[in-house]
Chain A
Amino acid sequence: MIQGLERLTAAALILVVAVLGWMVLAAFRPEFAQFASEETEILAVLGLLGATLCLVSLLALIHTRRH
């Protein structure tokens, strides 16, 4: 179970890095990067960041408990 959680967390972190690249493109070339309304994009980014924070925190707590 922990291994699965770790893989999921790693995938989420990689997705965050990809979103950073998209964010820079959207900041300076919005015509190439827009995929939805501004509100939808923001909600998607906030959802991803919130979920990744939760995943990393959960995993970190499990790790520190094991030690």
Chain B
Amino acid sequence: MGESAPADATGTPALKRPLGVLDVWALGVGVVVAGAYFGWNLGLKDNGPVAMLVASLLVCLLYLTWVLALAELSVAMPYAGGPLAYGRRAAGPLPGFIMGWSMLLEAQFAAIGCALAVGGYVAFLVNPNEQSQAVEILAELVTLLIFFLLQAWGVKEQSVALVVMTYGALLGLCIFWIAAATNFSAERVWPRENLLAGKGWRAVLDALPYALWWLVMIETVALAAEEMREPQRTLPRGLTLAQLTLAAIVVLTWLFACGAVESQQIAVDSAGQDISYPLAAVLHHLKVGENPILSIGFGVLALFGLIASYHAILYAVSRQGFALGRAGYLPSLFGRLHAGRRTPTVALAASTLLSAAFVVASIWFKDAINVAVLVSTLTALVWYVLAMACLLILRRREPALFAAYQAPASRVLPFVVAILSIFGIVAYARLEYAPAVFALAAAFYAAGIIYFLAFARGRLRSDAPEERGTQMAESVR
């Protein structure tokens, strides 16, 4: 472990810079491709395919505008602790910590949700009729261990692995689209007699929280800005291409899944239970799905999608933990890098151990996966709104900061992102799990803020990149 970790020109621990446009694209697609494999289908329940389509397009627009606005901040401040740097520079240490903490919670809970989904999917593949909890837990723990080791090994190696897994996940979706097309019916996609399931436009609001599952977490790619060649070109280009790829995936997956079987069959099984494996469930209903090579092959590729997302999310959570530790907002242990590999092994280990604790806890708490994903999404929407406030403040105060890159339609973009995010939070309030999710998120925010005020506030490191940038700007003012 690196007491004398490699450092940048000023002596601060620094990450490598090997990532190009393809790596950013793979990170962007890989981190959210799991959203196509599970989760979104629950929005079909009682709402129907048309409401889900409207909600999905709203989410696509939210994320397209969000990644463009975020690219502006990331290029201006290409640090691993992205939200920490934006909040710190725009409004001071406490807002910076709240934003960094929000993203850490978002990524950590998404990692937990993804790890739990991997276990469930493996158990389904082993025995679709009766899932073994032992297999589930074992698969989850093995996944956590493998990806801890892979990421501790080094950023370039894990980036190559992510590109391979992302291609595998995309191949799985292509196979699904072709197989589902064999039973396509336009009547099922567009049920003219009952377009909004008898609920009117409330169906769109009810479907929206689940539509967010398609794309949430893509913003974590901004954490990689410190590890990119030419971030002013690589980041916006890679994020835009990733977002376009994902918008196509969303529409095609929705179209072929809802066209192949009745939408309620994708959301709930015959016993009325929510379906966690919607694409596998669709194939199960089709004649072509009776082919074991197709069903097992697709299942393996679907697993690629889930672990690709877990892999990319773990990357994000470890970088955010590293940045907060490096700057003194969390214990300095988190800011250490491995002396030889230059990877944040302590932050990786802490995230993996926390995920493992939730995996074990899921034995008793069956709703762990739902709560984990909903807390992740809620904390995400919170920092989207805060980040847009930071962008507006910094544009006014330090216009030169954004000389290298400015987002298109830059005057309206931050307002659109903030309004769409607030709209998403409002829609979340209608969910069955809302009280538990809001309470859990509030408890984590309270714990973080108390730690900051009691321990971290007086120990912030002035040599961290996020602090140095702010100090330079303040000295100029």
**Which residues of chain B come closer than 8 Å to A63, judged between CB atoms?**
236, 407-408
Tell me, in angstroms, the Cα distance from A16 to B59 when the chains sit together: 12
- Say yes or no: B240 contacts A60, CB within 8 Å: yes
With A49-B61, A53-B247 known, 13 other A-B pairs at CB within 8 A are A9-B409, A13-B416, A14-B416, A16-B61, A17-B420, A20-B58, A20-B419, A30-B201, A42-B195, A46-B54, A49-B60, A57-B64, A64-B236
Task: Contact check, A52 vs B192: say whether CB atoms are below 8 A apart.
Answer: no
> Which of B195, B240, B411, B423 contacts A20 (CB under 8 A)?
B423
Docked CA distance A63–B402 (Å): 14
A39-B195 in contact (CB<8A): yes
Q: Are A38 and B409 in contact (CB under 8 A)?
A: no
**Does B413 sit within 8 A of A, measured CB to CB?**
yes
Cβ of B244 < 8 Å from any Cβ of A? yes
Asked if B64 contacts A17 (CB within 8 A), the reply is no
The interface residues of chain B lying within 8 Å CB-to-CB of A28 are 202
Please name all residues of chain B whose beta carbon is closer than 8 Å to the beta carbon of A23 when the two chains form the complex: 201, 204-205
**Number of chain B residues close to chain A: CB under 8 A:** 39
A61 touches B420 (CB 8 A): no
Q: A20-B419, A20-B420 are in contact. Are A39 and B192 (CB under 8 A)?
A: yes
Residues of A within 8 A of B68 (CB): 56, 60
Give Cα distance in the complex from A56 to B62, angstroms.
11
A38/B64 in contact, CB under 8 A: no
Q: Does B382 contact A (CB under 8 A)?
A: no
Contacts of A17 in B (CB 8 A): 415-416, 419-420
Q: How far is the CA of A49 from the CA of B65 in the complex (A)?
A: 12
- Closest 10 pairs between A and B when the two form their complex, measured CB to CB: A59-B408, A64-B237, A49-B57, A27-B201, A27-B202, A26-B201, A60-B240, A10-B409, A10-B412, A9-B409
In the assembled complex, the CB of A44 is this many whole angstroms from the nearest CB of chain B, namely: 11
How far is it, in angstroms, between the C-alpha of A49 and the C-alpha of B54 when the chains are bound? 8
Contact partners of B200 in chain A: CB under 8 A: 26-27, 30, 38
Tell whether A46 pairs with B53 under 8 Å between CB atoms, given A39-B192, A39-B195, A56-B68: yes
Kindly identify which residue among B60, B247, B412 contacts A14, using a CB–CB cutoff of 8 Å: B412
Contact B240 A64 (CB under 8 A): yes
Residues of A near B407 (CB, < 8 A) are 60, 63
Interface residues on A, range: 20 to 34
Question: Does chain A have a CB within 8 A of B405?
Answer: yes
Which chain A residues lie closer than 8 Å to B415 at the CB level? 17
B454 to chain A, nearest CB (A): 41
Contact with A along B191-224 (1 / 0, CB 8 A): 0100110001110110000000000000000000
Cβ–Cβ < 8 Å partners of B58 in chain A: 20, 49
- Are A56 and B409 interface neighbours, CB within 8 A? yes
Given the contacts A38-B195, A46-B57, A59 and B416 also touching, CB distance less than 8 Å = no
Tell whether B263 is near chain A: CB-to-CB under 8 Å: no
Q: Please give the distance in Å from A49's CB to the nearest CB on chain B.
A: 4
- Binary per-residue interface labels of chain A (29-43) against chain B in the complex, 1 for a CB within 8 Å, 0 otherwise: 010000000110010
Output the least CB separation between B93 and chain A (Å): 32
Q: Mark B229-261, 1 if CB is under 8 A from A, else 0.
A: 000110011001001100100000000000000
Partner of B240, one of A30, A39, A61: A61
Q: Can you name the residue of chain B whose Cβ is closest to the Cβ of A26?
A: B201
Q: Which of A27, A30, A52, A53 contacts B204 (CB 8 A)?
A: A27
Q: Please name all residues of chain A whose beta carbon is closer than 8 Å to the beta carbon of B65 when the two chains form the complex.
A: 13, 56
Q: Does A50 lie at the interface of the complex (its beta carbon under 8 Å from any beta carbon of B)?
A: yes
